[in-house]
Chains A and B, each alone.
Chain A
Amino acid sequence: MSSIARTTGMEYSGPAETIYLAEQLWPIRGQLYLGLLGLAIGGYMGLLQALERIGINLYSAHFLKSYYQGLTIHGVLLAFLFTFAFSNSFLSLTTIRGFERPLASTWLAQGAFWTMLAGTVLAAFAILTNQATVLFTFYAPLKASSLFYLGAVFLVLSTWLTSANQLLTLRAWRREHPEEPIPLLGFVSVVPYLMWDLASVGVAILVAVFLLPWSLGIRSYVDPQFDRLLFWFTGHPIVYFWLLPAYVSWYLMIPAQVGGRLFSDGLTRFVFLLFLVLSTPTGLHHQFTDPGMPTVMKTVHLFTTFAVVYPSFITAFTVMAALESGGRARGGRGLLGWIRALPWKDPSVNAQLLAMLVFTLGGATGIVNASYSVNLVVHNTAFVPGHFHMTVGTAVALTAMGVCYWLIPFLSGRELWGRRLALAQAWLWAIGMLVFARGQIAGGLSGMPRRTAIGDAAYLDLFQWSLDNWLTAIGGIVMTTSGLLFFIVMLGTLFFSRPLTAPVEIPVAETVHGARESWPLFDRLGLWFLIAVGLAVVAYVPVILGYLPLNPVSPPIRVY
């Protein structure tokens, strides 16, 4: 991967071996591999779902009891394991690189790996033995085995350990560098986790106070409506926890990889702080059609949801401007000539450019979902998976794969193997995803429900979903091919590739307007965290007070 080293645009200042300690690198590597294993198995389940749509049912051939058991594997491994593990791994590494010092605690770094592994084993055991076919939303009163909830606890705990380690590292850095602005890469690594620390409180209370005791028989009844409130307190901001690692790459790495510069340090901090502050007070837009939630507060959450769209709009401009600066530096001319001049033959760049392109459609469909009464047309229809496969399924997943094209060589010390396969992989993913999303979105607009075994549905013949199902299936098959290529490239790199001739360096962009031109108050992270807590309180306390008393009417029910 000498191209990365060539295009970093920045001299690397410290001797590598002093900041990347072997005892901190193995948990980073381990979590990445664990996440990729989740991607492989979870992604493969997607193929079974796609084929079910055209009447090919392969579940019993895989020793799975139902479509829904496969769907639970798909959701949990991709939405929780893959994303969390990638985040923990990638943003721990960028914390080291950003602060140019080792993580403050090796114990926490390794603890994050072990808790992630423990959570995975517990949840996987429960799901594979069909004791937790509750999908990744695990809505009560569908009851899963206690092991499943315990697994969820460990997965979240792992992210908290990572966050604690980042904050300790930030504190140590501040002691070593009083009066200096926080390095931008360190800043954007820490802030997503601060956001998540607040956001994850909802699901932590849900599991620890309600579902785990209820699954153990200590608590007899839960209130499904209130449980949904807690779930979605976490359930919307989690999408930014998925997305922000991709933004770290788009803001801080891609500009360097294309030979350009990031425009504004201050605006980048501002965008990440907007996510910290605005991500959490938005969850009710997932509950627009919940009967137990008042419309006044649904309206409040509509506005906050539109507010949190704003930083993504700024991102579209900022990242595009950085790309343009790179394209022009590479000789691109004219209004659009810089686009062709971008290094499309660099697998890492290619994958992430395509991820960005698909994300524009993902973002637009997300605004449709959030648009209050318009939500009635799409809520819980296939439109929604159409949407989020273009966001988390492409913007995040394809960016993560693009990052892997330099990260795996960095971590393994081996050259990227099969560059042309890697290029084809990204194109197939983007094209397959668009075909798939077209099928899902069109189906959803005509009432096709999401999370449903459509190929076996009793009402299938009453609708004209044939084309939609075929597009979904074809898209899924193309994506599976892409996924296969990705893992061939990964395994080829790990096992069949030459050792690197020159070390891969983590690409870090320079800024046109640097940290000294930023606003010093941006670095007061504690203050911004308090503002985020305040907004969450304002957005949720009226909902909770208006809802009480709780309505605990539901015993555990197992109907899968």
Chain B
Amino acid sequence: MRIERYEKIFMALTLVVLLAALATIGVGVFAAEVHLPAPAGRVDPRQIRQTAPFDQPGVREVAPGEYEAVIIARAWAFEPNEIRVPRGSTVRFRVASADVIHGFLVENTNINVMVIPGQVAEVAARFDRPGEYVFLCHEYCGFGHHQMFGKVIVE
């Protein structure tokens, strides 16, 4: 097949652009250590309130400066909807759904995960600045979807 010179140049350049974009993603993952959510176990939504750790939703300190926040997402609320931690804490969120698909996004962090019935969503962030961080449901979950939110309060 005949390909003209300018076509060849353009095709080569676009390949370079795409590879450069991939390289920047590599930097984000390996140097800045921004990772995507990975499998963290399964949980039966029908039994969620009898299954650890979701039988005790809430926040607890697991090591100095490290917290675990266990949250049940249901139509149309997070339980609990308020998480209080001191500044400088690293919080590992474990979120699971009791009914339909929900989402979990914490503003001004890299936390963004789907909350899918049957799956445990596990994500973490470090909160250095005091203040309120809204977390909200970002997947349509029925009539009251837009009511579903909570706050991380960093003191």
Q: When chains A and B are docked, how far (Å) is the Cα of A411 from the Cα of B84? A: 66
Interface flag for B70 (CB, 8 Å):
no
Asked whether, in the complex, the Cβ of A381 is within 8 Å of the Cβ of B14, the reply is no
What's the least CB distance linking A35 to chain B, in Å? Answer: 25
Contact of A554 among B45, B140, B144 (CB under 8 A): B45
Q: Which of A263-271, A396-404, A433-441 forms part of the interface with chain B?
A: A263-271
Asked whether, in the complex, the Cβ of B138 is within 8 Å of the Cβ of A380, the reply is yes
In chain B, residues 97-155, which have Cβ atoms closer than 8 Å to a Cβ of chain A?
99-101, 103, 105, 107-108, 110-122, 132, 134, 136-149
Asked whether, in the complex, the Cβ of B38 is within 8 Å of the Cβ of A142, the reply is no
Residues in B with CB closer than 8 Å to A225 are 116, 118-119
Q: When chains A and B are docked, how far (Å) is the Cα of A224 from the Cα of B115? A: 10
Given known contacts A288-B36, A306-B21, is B4 in contact with A264 (CB within 8 Å)? yes
Query: Which residue on chain B has the smallest CB distance to residue A516?
Result: B2
Interface flag for A293 (CB, 8 Å):
yes
What's the least CB distance linking A173 to chain B, in Å? Answer: 22
Given known contacts A380-B138, A449-B136, A456-B146, is B3 in contact with A264 (CB within 8 Å)? yes
Asked whether, in the complex, the Cβ of A303 is within 8 Å of the Cβ of B22, the reply is yes
What's the least CB distance linking B22 to chain A, in Å? Answer: 6
Q: When chains A and B are docked, how far (Å) is the Cα of A75 from the Cα of B83? A: 36
Residues in A with CB closer than 8 Å to B145 are 68, 451-453
Asked whether, in the complex, the Cβ of A447 is within 8 Å of the Cβ of B105, the reply is yes
Residues in B with CB closer than 8 Å to A335 are none
Query: Which residue on chain A has the smallest CB distance to residue B2?
Result: A517
Question: What 0/1 readout, one digit per residue, does chain A (372-390) give for beta carbons within 8 Å of chain B?
Answer: 1111110111000000000
Q: When chains A and B are docked, how far (Å) is the Cα of A411 from the Cα of B46? A: 56
Given known contacts A288-B36, A373-B29, A458-B146, is B100 in contact with A557 (CB within 8 Å)? yes
Interface flag for A294 (CB, 8 Å):
yes
Range for the number of chain A residues in contact with chain B:
35 or more
Residues in A with CB closer than 8 Å to B117 are 141, 224, 553-554
Asked whether, in the complex, the Cβ of A291 is within 8 Å of the Cβ of B25, the reply is no
Given known contacts A317-B7, A453-B145, is B36 in contact with A380 (CB within 8 Å)? no
Given known contacts A264-B3, A291-B39, is B120 in contact with A310 (CB within 8 Å)? no
Q: When chains A and B are docked, how far (Å) is the Cα of A231 from the Cα of B142? A: 19
Given known contacts A310-B18, A519-B1, is B103 in contact with A224 (CB within 8 Å)? no
Interface flag for A295 (CB, 8 Å):
yes
In chain A, residues 513-553, which have Cβ atoms closer than 8 Å to a Cβ of chain B?
513, 517-519, 522, 551, 553
Asked whether, in the complex, the Cβ of B140 is within 8 Å of the Cβ of A68, the reply is yes
Interface flag for A223 (CB, 8 Å):
yes
In chain A, residues 245-304, which have Cβ atoms closer than 8 Å to a Cβ of chain B?
263-264, 266-267, 270, 287-295, 298, 302-303
What's the least CB distance linking B104 to chain A, in Å? Answer: 9
Interface flag for B53 (CB, 8 Å):
no
Interface flag for A147 (CB, 8 Å):
no
Q: When chains A and B are docked, how far (Å) is the Cα of A294 from the Cα of B45? A: 21
Residues in B with CB closer than 8 Å to A559 are 75-76, 99-100, 141-144
Given known contacts A373-B28, A463-B134, A560-B142, is B3 in contact with A291 (CB within 8 Å)? no
Asked whether, in the complex, the Cβ of A295 is within 8 Å of the Cβ of B36, the reply is yes
Contact of B116 among A292, A295, A372 (CB under 8 A): A292
Residues in A with CB closer than 8 Å to B112 are 289, 375-377, 379-380
Q: When chains A and B are docked, how far (Å) is the Cα of A554 from the Cα of B98? A: 10
Interface flag for B52 (CB, 8 Å):
no
Asked whether, in the complex, the Cβ of B136 is within 8 Å of the Cβ of A289, the reply is no
What's the least CB distance linking A517 to chain B, in Å? Answer: 5
Contact of B2 among A142, A377, A513 (CB under 8 A): A513
What's the least CB distance linking B75 to chain A, in Å? Answer: 5
Given known contacts A224-B116, A267-B3, A372-B25, is B36 in contact with A306 (CB within 8 Å)? no
Interface flag for A487 (CB, 8 Å):
no
Contact of A139 among B1, B18, B101, B121 (CB under 8 A): B101
Contact of A289 among B1, B36, B40, B137 (CB under 8 A): B36
In chain B, residues 12-27, which have Cβ atoms closer than 8 Å to a Cβ of chain A?
14-15, 17-18, 21-22, 25
Query: Which residue on chain A has the smallest CB distance to residue B140?
Result: A451
Could you write out 26 A-B pairs with CB less than 8 Å apart?
Answer: A139-B100, A141-B100, A223-B118, A224-B117, A289-B112, A289-B113, A291-B116, A291-B121, A294-B39, A295-B36, A295-B38, A302-B22, A313-B10, A314-B10, A372-B25, A373-B36, A380-B114, A451-B140, A451-B145, A453-B145, A456-B146, A457-B149, A517-B1, A522-B1, A553-B45, A559-B143
Identify the 3 closest CB pairs spanning chains A and B, nearest first: A559-B142, A449-B138, A313-B14
